[in-house]
Structure 1
Amino acid sequence: MTPLLTAATATEPMGGLAGWAVGLMESLGGPGAALIVGLDNLFPPIPSELVLPLAGFSAGRGTFGLPEALAWTTAGSVAGALIVYWLGLLLGRERTRALLTKIPLVKASDFDRTEAWFAKHGAKAVFLGRMVPIFRSLISLPAGIERMPFWRFLALTTLGSLLWNTLFVGAGYLLGENWHLVDDYAGIFQYVVVAAVVVAIGLFVAVRLRDRRSSGSIQ
């Protein structure tokens, strides 16, 4: 067992995703942290709220320096976001609109309203979205679909990611072997966001079904 894993198990067993993340960072150093954080953009079940404090903890143990941890985790965040952005570019507006209208209860007007909202608030959405669970992984897609200028997207994503990563990496660095406290409290925030998304989807479905019944009764 590595010294980092030995220290971590003094307070909490290191297994599963956390153990895998620490092992990768021990083996690859900063690039390992970048790889894990980048995967968070592609596979939301890999939460940055867990990985980032571990990167800070690793920095505190001397695996790499704190500036290096921030640089590599931010590079990973941006790289993952760019992959999703380019996927949006490949899909394009018309293809995405056509695909969405095939989803039950979704209308073309829903896409049009979302598109209009993004055109007005896209910069804030990309920047702030980097700091919100779930949306952090998704916000790059509409940016690509709507062809937000690449350098603007890159700047907003880098700045938002750097702020978010600094908060969590710094907390892990300062807390040391109690890094898991960051994940515990961040998990509460994530549950709140997930609950809000579920409620919003439920309301959307309820309203759309009500409208469908109303239009059916009129006919």
Structure 2
Amino acid sequence: MVESIDHFIMALGMAGLLVLGLAAMLEYVVPPFPGDTITLLGGVYAVRGQHPWPLVFLVVVAGSVAGAAINYWFGTWLGRRFDANPQASLFGITHAKLEEVQARMRRSGPWLLLVNRFLPGIRGVIFIAAGASRIPRRNALLLGAVSAMAHTALVLSIGRMVGGNLERLELLVSRYQMAVVVLVVIGVLAVVVRALARRSPAT
């Protein structure tokens, strides 16, 4: 898979940089999209001398912020929709559930935004919640940019470590994806256990 993506991006020349940025954006809008896998290739290209590291860094960060902005806009639209019609239900979300999310975002929103890029699977949802909670857009995107810069620097550095060895990169990607699955499962289980604990009658 990694080798096929590599051939495709390399065939595009400098336009391949746009693929790196688009991948980072789609990770927010379409969470299952393997954007980090493609970003890792950016580090390989930097080692090969095919694309300057600073340019790859800027393109990927810009893509991440663009994806976050799209989700923030959707959250803003969602909040306004419920304000206009509190009885409405959308994608299984009710006004009561939205108010619960808003309360949580007011308490821990800035911290979640600051580490969002390191939270696979839910990073996009965090910005939807930020928009619905009316966290100032400038603050939300600024924290998102800081998170994106830290995460992108880490991922590109890992990509540089493997050099041009795509076999090592593929092994690294498989381990990364497995770690992501484990983290998501643990997170879901933690939320379920917490919800059940709250519903249990006090003894």
- Which range, TM-score by smaller chain? 0.7 to 0.9
Number of the residue aligned with 1:38: 25
Structure 1 residue runs of 5 or longer lacking an equivalent are 1-14, 215-219
- Cα 1:152–1:126 change in 2 (3 A) is same
Q: In the alignment, which of 125, 129, 135 is matched to residue 148 of structure 1?
A: 135
RMSD, aligned α-carbons = 2.9
TM-score w.r.t. the length of structure 2 is: 0.81
Tell me which of 110, 123, 144 is aligned to 2:110: 123
1:169 counterpart SS class: helix
Q: Distance in 2 between matches of 1:101 and 1:41?
A: 20
Where does residue 126 of structure 2 map in the other structure? 139
Rounded to whole Å, the distance in 1 between the matches of 2:146 and 2:27 is: 17
Bigger radius of gyration among the two: 1
Structure 1 residues 26 and 168: CA distance shift in structure 2, 3 A: farther
Aligned twin of 1:179 = 169
Q: How does 1:1-219 map to 2 (within 5 A)?
A: 15=1, 19-20=4-5, 23-24=8-9, 26-27=11-12, 28-92=15-79, 95=82, 98-99=87-88, 103=92, 108=96, 110-176=97-163, 177=165, 178-200=168-190, 202-203=192-193
Structure 1 segments (4+ residues) deviating >6 Å:
none
Aligned residue-pair number: 194
Q: Percent identity?
A: 26
Mapped partners of 1:149, 1:141: distance in 2 = 13
Q: CA deviation at 1:187?
A: 2.0
Gaps of 5+ in 2: none
C-alpha distance in 1 between matches for 2:170 and 2:54: 21
Counterpart position of 1:3 = none
Structure 2 CA distance for partners of 1:43 and 1:128, relative to 1, 3 Å: same
Q: Distance in 1 between matches of 2:125 and 2:6?
A: 22
CA displacement 1:115-174 (0-9 Å, x = unmatched)? 212102111111112211012222110111112112111210111011011101111012
Letter aligned with residue 141 of structure 1: I
Q: Would you say the 8 A contact 2:88–2:95 is kept in 1?
A: no
